[in-house]
Each structure stands twice: as C-alpha cells, then as structure tokens.
Amino acid sequence: MGNADILAHICAHFPGDLRVDDAVTDEDCLLVAPEDLVALCLLLRDDPALKFDFMSDICGVDFWPETPRFQLVYQLYSIPFKRRLRLKCRLENATAPSITQVWTTANWHEREAWDMYGIDFTGHPDLRRIYMWEEFDGFPMRRDFPLRGYKDEMNPFGDEPKPKGGAA
C-alpha cells in the first residue's frame, strides 16, 4: 500500500474529522481533533494494514498569543512496514486525552508536556512533574514564561510572579 492509499484508508474511518496536513513535506501528517485522538491511535495501532506499533515522541507547541494556543505533535512508526506518521492535534484549551492505554511510552512524554507546557492529559495514570520540582511555579516552555524565571528565594534576579488565577 502506498502512502496516499494509507492516508485514504485512515481518513475513511473518520470522514470529515481528519485531514491530511499538506503544509508538511518531510513525512505524512494528519490533523486530528482531540475528541478523535484515542480512536485514531487505536486504529493506527490495531489495523493490520497499518500496525503503527511504536510511538516515539510527543511534542508540545505553544502558539501564544494565537488561539488555539497549544498543539501536540505525535511521532509514530510502524516497525513491520517501516513507515512513519506524524499526528498534529490543536487544543482549544490546555487539555487532551491520554493515549497511555494505546502506547505505554506515552506516559513519560505526556508527563513531560504537562511539566513543560501545563497541558493536562485526562485519564493519565500518574500526571506529575518529571523535570521540575512539585513546588515550581509555572511551565517553563510556555512562550509567556519569563526568560529569567520567576523571582523567589532561589532566583533573586527573576521576574515578579504573576498573580494567582492568571491566564493559562
């Protein structure tokens, strides 16, 4: 099955809700809505014609001040068919469904996206910080996070913290 046939096969399962990202030229890429993410991932893993059995990465993207602000980018690989596929999922708010039940490797990557961007993964079995300490204020990869960090006892040269209840 060729790349165009594979994309058509996948899109046939999600009529109107799934699109090919024609702006991406280096590999096949699909745009998926958060509500279809888990079902799409299950199809990609379980369909014998696809067998995307390895999720290698999840990357967070912050488009601040644009809306929707956040995007998740998933990198998938089919070991039997030696094929790559990229999924992009724009988030209206900083919430996405967890795909740890599809690929257990998502556990680490979702925790990283939570820790760095503050993206909440509903249904994640253990969503907590992975790099920063639990008391750390903010999410350092967000584009509105100050370059010098927030001022505290460990960082006297940082910016004054935002008032609680600020914009996400």
Structural domains in the chain, sorted by start: 3-105 (3.30.460.80)
Decide if pLDDT at 79 tops 90: yes
Residue 167: per-residue pLDDT: 53
Lowest mean pLDDT among 110-114, 130-134, 145-149: 145-149
Task: Please state, in angstroms and as integers, the Cα–Cα distance from residue 165 to each residue in 46, 138, 147, 168, following that order.
Answer: 42, 12, 21, 8
pLDDT (average), residues 47-69: 96
| pTM (predicted TM-score) | 0.88
Strand duo 70-78 + 54-62: pairing:
antiparallel
Query: In the sheet where 54-62 sits, what is the strand order?
Result: 18-20, 29-32, 83-91, 70-78, 54-62
- Rounded Cα distance between 156 and 146, Å, is 13
Say what the pLDDT of residue 3 is.
79
Mean pLDDT of the chain: 91
Position 164 scores a pLDDT of 64
Check residue 1 and give its pLDDT: 56
Q: CA-to-CA distance for 6 and 58, rounded, in angstroms? A: 22
Q: Which two tokens stand for residue 152?
A: 């505290």
